[in-house]
Amino acid sequence: MWLRQGRKTSTLAEQSLLEMAEHEGRLITFATASLNLGAEMPEKEAQVWQQFIRDMQAWADARKLQLVAGERRHVNDADSWRQLPDDMDVAGLADVLEHSKFEVRLKHSNTTSSRLKVIAANVQTARGFSGSVKLDEAAFVDDLRTLLAELEPIFSTDPTFNFLMATTPPPDYAHYAYELLTPEDGNEDFAPSAEGNWFKNRAGIWCHRVTIDDAALAGRKNYHPDTGAEITPDEAREASPDREGWDRSNRLKRPTVGTSAVSPLALDVAQRKGLGRAAAAEWPEGVEALPAGALDFVRGTVTLGFDQATTTNKKSNPSALAILNDAGDELEIPLVLWWKTANPNVSTRRVVGIVKALLAMGIRVKSLGIDATNERFYARLLKEALGALCDVQLIVSSESIETPEGKISYKSLMGNDLANAIESGKAVLPFSTYLYKDFMRVVKDRGSFDATVGPNGEHGDTFDAVKIAYHVARSGGGPVEMLDLSQPGGRSPHPSWRPQTQTDGLTYA
């Protein structure tokens, strides 16, 4: 995480060349957001090599020694080399490196070379290689999250392989790189240091941070764009016509605007408020019991939201269930669960079991909202399975509602309500990396909301479950297609209807 023009690409070139020299036959894949930029990599490697040759020549000249290609011969004097024929001079060493527009080869012998290959940073090209990976301008790669999943097999097969990314912050906080540049402890203040600062990011990766102030302490100069006079970093900022862009490129300030449904800063605040007050967990396939401690923070009166899915393919969306505590003005989510199953009976048992467990604890279940947009038939079956345990509202997100501002879909209404609650600081959410990533997948799209798909089918499903719970708690639901459990074909009871019924020896009120 270095400032713009902070020698990121040059440093990757130097590291790559050193690695190619140290490991015979090594392949380094250099992925870049721009092939025009990537084409500079072989040239930079050639420049590094040429400078290396010049430095070695100067070292040898100072000792009245001769450099030769491919072989080093010592004599008794450890600081001198045996003289070889004049035709084997530094030019031979220069020929050891070959480069073309998108490839560099460093010859170890007549039969073995190490090489660096430049590719476009996309999922189509990042396949079929094995070796170390360098990724330049990571924050400007489209669909970075998916690309990283595709790159992982390239460098994970040998402990000597490595993966290095270099970038400045993205202009949009919806970009996955924002998470990679966010310290796991939320720290935003770093003391300037000529060595930069290290931190571990929210993805668990070590990150080296070098701002214009750090670089200035290390000797990097700044010059005025008009006069050419040497200036301080603060004076450079004053001379910039775009100070927000300057802050992002030079002081590595993370963006304050973006297309995600909620800002990462507001989401982080909501999650930190949830420490010790909320839980989130995946419910594994084949496990009947609730995850340990799942209901520890549920209290009083609750509303539930359920976003359903009934497949288990790698790219299939998981089901998600959220519980909302009645906490006055706050949006308090004490529990979020998610799971994958191809068997709808599993989801039915889990949802019904949670409702029964809550009632057994003396918790009043006010209502349960189910997304019935795509799987309406299963939603009706689930409502029937819940029987008289609680009121059930089936939410059809594609339907619209009239508002003073005009007609709006329930999907947009619920998404905006949840986003506004989080941005206003009213939300209390579980502190969970999975939840954070899933919420950040949801982006604004022409007045509505959409979501990118994660490597395992994650699609903002936990966001959807929370927004349904919040909507039902505030309004009693949206457009419904429900059966009155006592009279087929009739409407469901009013949300306040709470029957007394005897089941399994327990009274659910």
Cα–Cα distance for residue pair 309/343, rounded to 1 Å = 10
Helices (H), 334-409: 344-360, 376-386
What pLDDT, on the 0 to 100 scale, is given for residue 229?
93
Q: What is the pTM of this model?
A: 0.59
234-248, 348-362, 420-434, 457-471: the lowest-pLDDT one? 234-248
Whether residue 55 has pLDDT greater than 90: no
Q: Which residues of 345-378 are buried (b: 16+ CB within 10 A; e: fewer)?
A: ebbbebbbebbbebbeeebebbbbbbbbbebeeb
The per-residue pLDDT for range 223-269, each reduced to its tens digit, is 998 899 999 999 999 988 888 889 989 999 877 667 788 888 889 89
Q: Which of the given ranges, 139-148, 271-280, 436-445, has the highest pLDDT on average? A: 271-280
What pLDDT, on the 0 to 100 scale, is given for residue 256?
67
Whether residue 1 has pLDDT greater than 90: yes
| Three-state secondary-structure class, residue 400 | strand
Give me the mean pLDDT over the 405-422 stretch.
88
Give the pLDDT band (50/70/90) at residue 37.
low
Higher pLDDT among residues 87 and 54, named by residue: 54
Whether residue 30 has pLDDT greater than 50: yes
What pLDDT, on the 0 to 100 scale, is given for residue 493?
36
State the pairing for strand pair 27-32/113-120: parallel
Which residues 6+ apart lie within 8 Å of 216 measured at CB?
192, 222, 232, 233
Give the pLDDT band (50/70/90) at residue 110.
confident
- Domain ranges in the chain are 169-257, 264-508
What pLDDT, on the 0 to 100 scale, is given for residue 85?
38
What pLDDT, on the 0 to 100 scale, is given for residue 314?
56
The per-residue pLDDT for range 86-97, each reduced to its tens digit, is 433 444 555 565
Averaged confidence pLDDT in the chain:
81
Whether residue 498 has pLDDT greater than 70: no
The per-residue pLDDT for range 294-317, each reduced to its tens digit, is 999 999 999 999 998 866 555 678
Q: What CATH fold (topology level) applies to the domain 264-508?
A: Nucleotidyltransferase; domain 5 (3.30.420)
Cα–Cα distance for residue pair 103/38, rounded to 1 Å = 10
Whether residue 401 has pLDDT greater than 90: no
Q: Check: CB of residue 107 under 8 Å from CB of residue 96.
A: yes
Whether residue 489 has pLDDT greater than 90: no
Q: Cα dihedral sign for 416, 419, 423, 426?
A: positive
Beta strands in 388-469 (DSSP E): 392-395, 400-403, 406-409, 427-428, 442-445, 448-451
Q: Amino acid letter at 120? A: A
Which residues 6+ apart lie within 8 Å of 356 measured at CB?
389, 503, 504, 506, 508
Q: Which structure tokens are listed for 450? A: 């959409």
Whether residue 108 has pLDDT greater than 90: no
The per-residue pLDDT for range 442-468, each reduced to its tens digit, is 988 777 788 888 778 888 999 999 999
What pLDDT, on the 0 to 100 scale, is given for residue 121?
80
